[in-house]
């Protein structure tokens, strides 16, 4: 009987120890941090051709004029004077045409401030076709909020669908343009820097 009672006590002790071993637990907390690198992606076009629409051809009647002629065929008198010519529908004399190239660059990435500096420089402002010339000036970058030779814009992260898209603005001077056709040689450079 004593032996049975010792066996029962032993079983009770083993059962108690087993349930305590199963109930023991502990935990630890881990702090997680991620280092995101500075990273920037600039999308741009390496070639842009501006195709101007064709103005209508015009014949402008400057009125009447008297011309003196002698018997040998020589003539004299007032002819057309550049200062008194009537205006045509397309007039570029001494003026510049302002152009805005919409959505020609975009930028995305990561920076310490979440922003980037976008700058534009002009390595070559002359477009030529033989002796005919178009001059680019006042070239600026813009993002519809800021405009200038250098602007600060948001990066918005790395996703393509959240990239910041921007424009190029410039003036074109046609005062030395004498030919139709392609005028080449002009260049602008866009630089994007994390800040």
Mean pLDDT of the residues in the chain: 86
Q: Would you state the structure tokens that stand for residue 36, as one six-digit string?
A: 């995101």
CA distances from 19 to 5, 14, 22, 26, 189 (A): 21, 9, 5, 16, 75
pLDDT at residue 14 above 60?
Answer: no
pLDDT at residue 10 above 70?
Answer: no
Q: For the chain, which residues make up each domain, given as ranges?
A: 96-195
**Higher pLDDT, residue 13 or 176:** 176
pLDDT band per the 50, 70, 90 thresholds, residue 26? very high
- Look up the pTM and report it: 0.74
The tens digit of pLDDT for each residue in 159-182 reads: 999 999 999 999 999 989 999 999
Distance CA 6, CA 3 (A): 5
φ/ψ of 108, rounded to 5, equals -155, 160
The tens digit of pLDDT for each residue in 81-101 reads: 667 776 666 666 667 899 999
Q: What Rg value do the Cα atoms of the chain yield, rounded?
A: 39
CA distances from 74 to 65, 78, 195 (A): 16, 14, 74
């Amino acid at each position: 009987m004593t032996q049975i009672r010792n066996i029962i006590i032993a079983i009770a002790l083993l059962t108690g120890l087993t349930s305590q071993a199963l109930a023991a637990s502990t935990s630890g907390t881990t702090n997680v941090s991620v280092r995101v690198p500075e990273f920037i992606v600039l999308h741009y076009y390496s070639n842009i051709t501006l195709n101007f629409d064709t103005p209508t051809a015009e014949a402008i009647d400057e009125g009447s004029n008297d011309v003196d002629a002698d018997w040998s065929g020589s003539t004299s008198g007032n002819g057309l004077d550049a200062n008194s010519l009537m205006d045509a529908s397309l007039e570029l004399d001494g003026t510049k045409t302002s152009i805005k190239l919409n959505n020609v660059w975009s930028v995305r990435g990561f920076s310490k401030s979440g922003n980037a500096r976008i700058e534009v420089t002009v390595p070559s402002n002359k477009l030529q076709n033989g002796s005919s010339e178009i001059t680019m000036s006042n070239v600026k970058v813009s993002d519809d909020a800021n405009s200038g030779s250098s602007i600060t814009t948001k990066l918005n992260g790395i996703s393509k669908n959240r990239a910041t898209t921007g424009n190029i603005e410039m003036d074109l001077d046609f005062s030395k343009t004498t030919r139709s056709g392609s005028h080449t040689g002009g260049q602008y450079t866009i630089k994007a820097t994390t800040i």
